Copies of this chain bind each other. A is one copy, B any other.
C-alpha cells in the first residue's frame, strides 16, 4: 500500500461521518501538509455511498492546527440534483472545527472543448535534479519535485525578481494519479513569499480552491507520469497574498488549477 493511500484512509462510522488519523508521513512545519488534508476531505466525499459523479471544485479552509491524532469528518450532501451534487464538509478534532470545506461534484458529458492555457515550454524532467529531502518536512519525501525555476536556495542570499516557480512533480514512489492525489499536488508549491525572498518566514494557507479540469478517463491516461506545475502570486498585502498554480500533464492537458490565500508575517 502506497503511503498516500494509508495517509488518506477513512472509516465510515455513521451517516455522513468518517474517522481517520493524522500520521507523520506527510508532516509539514506545523501539522500535516495541507494538500494531504484536502485529499482526505475529497476522499470522504468519494467514499460516501451517495457520492454522485466526479469532482469539479473543492474549497478547503484551514481553520485551526491539525494535531497528529484522530479526527472526524462530517461530509453532508446538502443538495443533489440530476447530475450535480453539493457537499459541505467539516473536519473536527476534540470537538473543534479544524477544517471546513465545500465540494461540487457532477456527471460530465462530451461538449465543445478547448484549452486556452497552453503549458509553457520547459526542460524535460529527465534533465533536472530532484529536490533533496528536508529535515522536519516529511511530506517532501513523498514527492519527486524537479524545479525548472523559482526553487528555494538558502545559499543564494538574495531575493528573486518575482514569485514565479515552475517544476515537474510526481508522487514518490510513483503512483497512478487519481483525484485525491491530484488535489494534494494542488498544494505543493511553497508560499510565494518564500520564493520571492528566498527565505522562510511564518506563513500558512488559509483557504485553497481546486478546480478540476479533467475527468476520470483522461486522468487514468496520465498514469504515474510527471505533471508540470507553475505558481505565482498576484498581490501581497497586509498579512495575506494569493497564489495561483496550474498543473498540466506531460502531454500538455491542463488538469488542475489551484487558487489559494496565504497568511504570512514579514
Contacts and interface: CB of A to CB of B under 8 A. Distances in A.
A265 interface: yes
A156 interface: no
A46 interface: no
A90 to B, nearest CB: 7
Contacts of A196: 114
Given A57-B206, A61-B86, A209-B259, A215 B234 contact: no
A190 interface: no
A246 B61 CA distance: 22
A106 interface: yes
B209 A59 contact: yes
A56 B240 contact: yes
A259 B61 contact: no
Contacts of A238: 108-111, 113, 215
Given A101-B102, A116-B234, 9 more contacts: A63-B81, A104-B261, A112-B236, A113-B236, A116-B162, A209-B259, A215-B238, A234-B254, A244-B259
